[in-house]
Amino acid sequence: MKVVIGIDPGSIVCGYGVVAKRGHELYYVTSGDIRMSKTAPLELRLRQLFEELRAVIKDVRPDEAVIEKIFYARGKLAALQLGHARGVAMLSASIEDVPVVQYSALEVKKAVVGYGRADKNQVIKMTRMILNIGAELTSDSADALALALCHLNSLNISDLEERKGRLRPPLEPPARASVPLTP
């Protein structure tokens, strides 16, 4: 069984979602949000994020962690704070010897919804459908679960390509008969 944790980092709210896969079956394990005080100094929020995220990682023992690549931030300060939160998420996984993989929001939305410009509600709805989750999800935990799903889907494609290369030798073009051209 392969267990993957998706992490949607933030300096105020960090979503996480854990999905397991056995064969072709996907299983929802857990998800949630780590919420930090907007008024607390950044260093205390980052410490809280590190401690709580590391506890989740220790608890679920994932094989891999998936984090969204930064592509947009509202401003310079927001981008810096998001960068700090991403670093803490990577460190939390790394300290527990969990490899980290990154995908863009476009890749995640395309993998889960089928459309790279999908909105948050579409991501939430499809994530709940794919994992058969009856309960409501926050957008942060849905994004984290979508990251895990994207990675597990990309593993399928990689596995197929690898197997295809191993199982079927490349075809050689048929030998051509040389026919003399007559004038």
Q: Tell me which of 33, 52, 140, 143 is the catalytic residue.
A: 140
DSSP letter string, 41-105: -HHHHHHHHHHHHHHHHHHH--SEEEEEPP---SSHHHHHHHHHHHHHHHHHHHHTT--EEEE-H
* Catalytic annotation, pick one of 8, 33, 52, 107: 8
140 classed as catalytic: yes
> Would residue 97 show up in a list of annotated catalytic residues for this protein?
no
DSSP for 133-180 reads: --S---HHHHHHHHHHHHHHHHHHHHHHHHHHHHHSPPPPPPPPPP--
Per annotation, catalytic residue among 33, 52, 64, 68: 68
Q: Verify whether residue 68 is a known catalytic residue.
A: yes
* Residues across the chain: 183
Degrees, nearest 5: CA angle 114-144-142: 70
Q: Which residues are catalytic?
A: 8, 68, 140
